[in-house]
């Protein structure tokens, strides 16, 4: 009975496509700096422009001074700063802006999560001699999360950040940045040169906790959202909630830059907690504040219901046996969610969130027969091109599909031409200049028709790479920052080396090397069976001794290991040749040099 439709079973949509971008240019508009984008995307920028909001007396929210908000609450005992942005310069600007409204001394800092805490030094510098008396409250997972994203997956994370946050895009012209969905830009040029210094919380918690600060009662409740250390802060005397879940766009279950799974079921718990507070004022890490209990209740309820809709209907489709591609057609937000900007697809896209829910629940295999044992990608694209009659025929059909407005099909066809050969870096990403220009042109068409800042920024960044405007190669290598090495425990980046091991170089090797740092830290790596296993180094038969400054220069590609050994900066105990052969197993420019 395969292929027979069961009685009364829901029918798949006919000729339907996810509402991820328009089918034509009817909503194409030009921004104030010549950017070509969806009219709704351009209009959304107004909500994110720089402004100091004051939802009630003693509360200020600085919106648009970067990607995130810096929020301030004044109590009888002084001023509380909530988050500190990406840099000291960013936070200093916000402090100066709020100083036009209050001269109350800062008496406390609160972190909503680990993303936006790079400017706390500006707060402490303003406090001067009182700095050591200022408590910093935050979730106990904050520092661990910072170490995680700055270590093993740093190249992938950094590359994704550049792609999603328009960091390599021009500010003006057709490809110019419009906004980032949650903010106008990653960092404002006027804040350069940026200095970032993360200062760890002095008071931590991992469950709901209450405390008093600045003469105000505060209830901090863990509310995992785009970070598992995210918290909602409730100020009962002020009827004020500060949160990192309700954003000025539909919540991003999937981040196009790549992130760990954000479970909608957990998100809903945090949103329901906010609804249960009955707040008169809702301030967030992104976007303008919302005031009025009835408006908050209505808008936030719609926001949470949109997330539940995506979850419920994805699960319903999965249970019916729909594949990921089928799910993206089936699960689309009903028109009723168009009433509030909180549920608009100005950041991510439902099409992508649905796929992520499936992957988070069930993994990568969606039941599509061909995906169980797919043809290797290079071989597949070459066979597809041959089957279509050769590259010229594929090129012709891709061009025709683009001109006819069938851009999804055009995108797939053009991608074959670029993904049918290996480039000089060993990746399947080649093609003639003509083919790369064709793919870039199709991507720009989609970028100009989508409401999603994430999708537009990724597509344009990729188009800039395809047409040779942007050299993206530096974002595909693991580079340690000397500053980051100095700011972290010595062993952190030694252990990270294990994801840089080149198996071919380590074949047949069984060596154990210990690093001994001048602060007493000892850490080891045991290379065996083509893996590098972190150890305490106690049983190592090889060792090197060095100080942290030398290690930061080595890891930061400022100093070659051979030079450091020659000048005595690194002292080797054991066979120098074996140590150098051991270190050459790692794909790093200077550690193995």
Cα–Cα distance for residue pair 317/330, rounded to 1 Å: 8
Strands 78-82 and 106-110: parallel
Please tell me the distance from the alpha carbon of residue 64 to that of residue 51, in angstroms, as a whole number.
6
Task: Check: CB of residue 342 under 8 Å from CB of residue 299.
Answer: yes
Query: The tokens 């520092």 sit on which residue?
Result: 143
Residue range 485-535, pLDDT digits in tens:
888 888 989 999 999 999 999 999 999 999 999 999 999 999 999 999 999
What integer pLDDT is reported at residue 16 of this predicted model? Answer: 60
408-413's contacts with Cβ under 8 Å and 24+ in sequence apart are: 408/17, 410/442, 411/439, 411/442, 411/443, 411/446
As a whole number, mean pLDDT of residues 320-325 equals: 96
CATH of 375-472, one of 3.40.50.300, 2.60.120.10, 3.30.360.10, 1.25.40.880: 1.25.40.880
Percent of the chain predicted with pLDDT > 90: 89
Residue 39 phi, psi dihedral angles, 5° rounding: -55, -40
Model confidence over 272-313: pLDDT tens digits?
999 999 999 999 999 999 999 999 999 999 999 999 999 999
CB 176 within 8 A of CB 170: yes
Domain ranges of the chain: 29-245+281-287, 375-472, 482-583
Assigned CATH topology for domain 482-583: Nonspecific Lipid-transfer Protein; Chain A (3.30.1050)
Distances (CA, A) of 352 to 158, 331, 424, 561: 20, 11, 31, 44
For 29-245+281-287, the fitting CATH number among 3.40.50.620, 3.30.70.3270, 3.60.15.30, 3.40.50.11930 is 3.60.15.30
Q: Which one is predicted more confidently, 14 or 514?
A: 514
| 426 phi and psi angles, rounded to 5 deg | 85, 10
Q: Which helix (H) or strand (E) holds 517?
A: strand 511-517
Residue 70 reports pLDDT greater than 70: yes
Instruction: Give the pLDDT confidence of 231-241 residue by residue, as tens digits.
Output: 999 999 999 99
């Amino acid at each position: 009975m395969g292929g027979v439709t069961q009685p009364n079973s829901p029918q798949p949509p006919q000729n339907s496509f996810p509402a991820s971008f328009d089918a034509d240019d009817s909503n194409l508009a030009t921004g104030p700096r010549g950017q070509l984008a969806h009219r709704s995307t351009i209009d959304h920028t107004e909500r994110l422009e720089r402004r100091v909001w004051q939802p009630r007396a003693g509360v200020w929210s600085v919106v648009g001074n970067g990607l995130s908000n810096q929020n301030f609450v004044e109590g009888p005992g002084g001023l509380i700063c909530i988050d500190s942005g990406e840099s000291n310069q960013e936070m200093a600007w916000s402090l100066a802006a709020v100083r036009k409204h209050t001269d109350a001394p800062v008496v406390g800092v609160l972190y909503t999560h680990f993303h936006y805490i790079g400017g706390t030094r500006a707060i402490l510098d303003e406090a001067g001699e009182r700095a050591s008396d200022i408590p910093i409250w935050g979730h106990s997972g904050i520092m661990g999360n910072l170490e995680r994203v700055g270590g093993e997956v740093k190249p992938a994370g950094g590359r994704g950040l550049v792609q999603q946050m328009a960091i390599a895009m021009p500010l003006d012209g057709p490809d110019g940045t419009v906004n980032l969905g949650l903010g106008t830009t990653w960092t404002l040029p006027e804040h350069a040169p940026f200095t970032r210094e993360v200062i760890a919380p002095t008071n931590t918690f991992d469950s709901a906790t209450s405390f008093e600060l600045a003469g105000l009662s505060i209830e901090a409740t863990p509310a995992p959202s785009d970070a598992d250390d995210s918290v909602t802060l409730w100020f009962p005397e002020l009827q004020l909630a500060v949160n990192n879940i309700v954003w000025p766009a539909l919540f991003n279950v999937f981040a196009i830059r790549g992130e760990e799974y954000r479970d909608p079921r957990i998100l809903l718990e945090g949103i329901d907690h906010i609804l249960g507070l009955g707040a008169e004022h809702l301030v967030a890490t992104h976007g303008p504040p919302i005031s009025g209990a009835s408006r908050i209740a209505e808008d936030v309820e719609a926001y949470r219901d949109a997330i539940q809709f995506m979850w419920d209907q994805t699960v319903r489709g999965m249970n019916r046996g729909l594949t990921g591609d089928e799910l993206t057609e089936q699960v689309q937000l009903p028109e009723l969610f168009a009433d509030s900007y909180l549920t608009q697809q100005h950041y991510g896209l439902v099409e992508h969130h649905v796929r992520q829910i499936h992957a988070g629940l069930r993994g990568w295999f969606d039941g599509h027969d061909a995906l169980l044992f797919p043809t290797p990608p290079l071989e597949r694209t070459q066979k597809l091109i041959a089957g279509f009659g050769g590259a010229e025929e594929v090129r012709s059909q891709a061009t025709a599909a683009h001109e006819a407005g069938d851009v999804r099909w055009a995108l797939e066809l053009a991608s074959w031409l670029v993904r049918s050969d290996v480039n000089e870096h060993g990746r399947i990403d080649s093609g003639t200049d003509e083919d790369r220009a064709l793919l870039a042109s199709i991507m720009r068409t989609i970028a100009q028709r989508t409401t999603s800042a994430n999708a537009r920024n990724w597509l344009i960044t990729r188009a800039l790479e395809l047409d040779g405007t942007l050299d993206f190669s530096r974002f595909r290598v693991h580079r340690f920052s000397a500053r980051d090495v100095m700011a972290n425990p010595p062993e952190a980046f030694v252990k990270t080396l294990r994801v840089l091991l080149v198996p071919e170089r380590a074949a047949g090797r069984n060596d154990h090397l210990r690093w001994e740092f001048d602060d007493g830290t000892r850490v080891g790596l045991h290379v065996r069976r083509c893996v590098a296993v972190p150890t305490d180094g106690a049983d190592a038969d090889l060792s090197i001794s060095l100080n942290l400054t030398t290690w930061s220069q080595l890891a930061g590609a400022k100093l070659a290991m051979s030079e450091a050994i020659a000048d005595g900066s690194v002292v080797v105990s054991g066979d120098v040749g074996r140590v150098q052969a051991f270190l050459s197993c790692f794909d790093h420019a200077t550690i193995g040099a």
